[in-house]
């Protein structure tokens, strides 16, 4: 999946690979910090993403299906993501 710090796929961007569970977004690969910064995202053709409003997979959840682009996360989610899970299904591509 790809994430942006601003809506409409603007600003700083990064790729988040899976399959992997990220109990916190404070120390992502490459020592990047995405906690409470994600405001838009795109999910690839073989991924399903679950976002949590709090660290350690707690709080409310938002699920993003494969091949979905969110130019703006819902208002209650914009800049409020603190943990995530990226599930992959390689058989979904093609």
Domain CATH number, residue 31: 2.60.20.10
- Which residues touch 48 (CB under 8 Å, ≥6 apart)? 63, 64, 65, 66, 86, 87, 89
- Percent share of the chain, pLDDT over 70: 95
Query: Which DSSP state fits 32?
Result: B
Q: How confident is the model at residue 89 (pLDDT cuts 50, 70, 90)?
A: confident
| Per-residue pLDDT, 15 | 94
Q: For the chain, what is the domain count?
A: 1
pTM comes to 0.90
- Inform me whether the pLDDT recorded for 93 exceeds 90: no
- Domain residue limits at 62: 2-92
Is the CA virtual torsion 88, 46, 53, 40 positive or negative?
positive
Q: What is the pLDDT of residues 9-36, one digit of tens each?
A: 999 999 999 999 999 999 888 889 999 9
- The Cα 28–Cα 84 span in angstroms is 11
């Amino acid at each position: 999946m790809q994430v942006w710090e601003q809506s409409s796929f603007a600003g700083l961007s990064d790729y988040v690979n899976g399959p992997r569970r990220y109990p916190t977004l404070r120390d992502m690969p490459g020592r990047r910090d995405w906690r409470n910064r994600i405001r838009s995202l795109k999910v690839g053709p073989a991924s399903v993403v679950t976002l949590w409003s709090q660290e350690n997979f707690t709080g409310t959840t938002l699920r993003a299906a494969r091949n979905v682009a969110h130019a703006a996360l819902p208002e209650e989610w914009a800049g409020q993501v603190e943990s995530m899970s990226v599930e992959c299904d390689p058989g979904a591509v093609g």
